[in-house]
Amino acid sequence: EDLLSLEAEIVRMVERYLEVAHQRITTIRRYVSEYRSLTQGASEGGGMSAPAGEVVAHPVDAYLLLKRLTVEWASVEDAMTFHANATQELVQRVVVFREKSTFPVMEDLHGAAVALVRLQDTYNLNMSTLPAGSFIGVGLTSHEFQSSKSLNARDCLFLGKHAFNKGYYDKAIEWFEAALNTASHEENSSAPTHEIEPFLKAAVKVHDDVLEKRGPRGSDWQTKAVPVDEDLASKHKYRQ
């Protein structure tokens, strides 16, 4: 709840910034639009930019040109300067706010990632639904929980890396596979498949190597009961 309150305050700062920034951007856009409307399509049929001579030959156009380059351009300069200053001011305000608050840092995110992997492992959460934010509780809370948003492919890749680094080689493979599956369904993939595939390949290799040499479980590692590689899995010792 405290973190949500912190985020709410930052969002309020950004919203106030956006309101003012929108007004300034509108001024800049209007200047560009007026220039385009003057120079575009002077000839019949339109679509062609009018030669500079044609634009300034007309006394009204010449007057308007001078107006744009004096009065209106001054407004554009003011808008751009204000926009730059407002951006810097917002950044400084957020920095001060973060310093005065118990604001999360990257270590907190890493901790949350590891906690989610451990939760997945402890309760054997269904990886076909967990990336979408859905899982079934256990014991007295055996009903479905649904998050407000789903994990994207990069989230799954991030979690897979943490699972791997903590020795959860079986879970790392599941997260990397989930990353690939999620990426294939994203319109604008947050993590391309060519970025994910090397991690999956490396995780499978390490997983099978650890299983072969050290067994499926130790103080700081765990694997599936059977290798992912089909040739290794066909060995007599893995047959049940």
Question: Residue 75 belongs to what domain range?
Answer: 3-100
Shared-domain flag, residues 95 and 149: no
Domain count, the chain: 2
Residue 108: closest CA among 230, 6, 37: 6
* pLDDT at position 140 over 60: no
- Tally Cβ neighbours within 10 Å of residue 113: 20
23: left (phi over 0), alpha (psi -120 to 50) or beta: alpha
Shared-domain flag, residues 154 and 210: yes
pLDDT at residue 236 in the model: 73
Shared-domain flag, residues 111 and 209: yes
Bridge-based pairing of strands 217-218 and 144-146 is unpaired
0.75 cut: is pTM over it?
no
Distance between CA atoms of residues 212 and 233, nearest Å? 10
| Comparison of pLDDT for 165 and 59, the residue scoring more | 165
* pLDDT at position 44 over 50: no
Shared-domain flag, residues 77 and 125: no
- 179-211 pLDDT, tens digit per residue, is 999 999 999 999 999 999 999 999 999 999 999
Opening angle at CA 118, ends 116 and 123, nearest 5: 95
% pLDDT > 70, the chain: 88
Q: Give the CB-side neighbour count of residue 68, counting CA atoms within 13 A.
A: 18
Shared-domain flag, residues 95 and 206: no
pLDDT at residue 4 in the model: 87
Shared-domain flag, residues 69 and 183: no
Average pLDDT of the residues in 43-53 = 49
| Comparison of pLDDT for 218 and 82, the residue scoring more | 218
* 166's tokens: 């903590």
Shared-domain flag, residues 54 and 160: no
CATH of the domain at 143: 1.25.40.10
